[in-house]
Amino acid sequence: MTWTLPFPPEVTGPLAAADEPTLRGYLAWQRVTLLNICAGLTAEQLATRPLASSNLSLLGLLRHMAKVERVWFRQRVARQPVEPLFDPAPGKDFDFDGGTAADAEAAVATLELEWRECDAAVADLSFDETFDLRGETYALRMVYVHMVGEYARHNGHADLLREAIDGVTGR
């Protein structure tokens, strides 16, 4: 039987709250939006690169977001000594370029696991918690803002890819 990405559960968050619960809720919504855009597609469809002008695939976006989550939340903010998700030897875009249909189910599981691990890594930290990156000081609050923007950008890409694959829009 062919594996198909299932529909994720709905996520809601506060609409009138302080910045921390609002940003945590909105990031959760953006995360699930990516899965919702991809839901109902087979592994082969997820691995398809439907736009001739781009190397992007939905699978590549799923893999990329797992990598980005790990880097920002676990490695940078929480300073966990976790290895990169992908071997850096093939190049910085291996998350986009290296996936095949055979990897799709595992890629989704990895992304969902990364969400849980990232949330746990920063659960007890203040949004004012800071870390240095290339001579700049970042707060956890800014990482949430960055991640919401990262997902929003790539969810837009995912919308276009999904439409090119099977015509589905508005996910």
pLDDT of residue 162: 98
> For residue range 11-27, what is the model confidence (pLDDT) as tens digits?
988 999 999 999 999 99
pLDDT of residue 50: 97
pLDDT of residue 26: 97
Calculate the alpha carbon distances from 16 to 21, 22, 59, 126, 134 in Å: 9, 7, 34, 20, 35
CATH topology of domain 19-166: Four Helix Bundle (Hemerythrin (Met), subunit A) (1.20.120)
Q: Residue 53 in 3-state DSSP?
A: coil
Listed as ranges, residues in the chain with pLDDT below 70 are: 1
Of 137, 139, 119, 138, give the one whose Cα is nearest residue 128: 139
Strand residue runs (E) in 14-170: 130-133, 136-139
- The DSSP call for residue 21 is H
pLDDT of residue 92: 85
**Is there a contact between 70 and 110 (Cβ–Cβ < 8 Å)?**
no
* pTM strictly above 0.85: yes
Phi–psi pair at 131, nearest 5 degrees: -150, 160
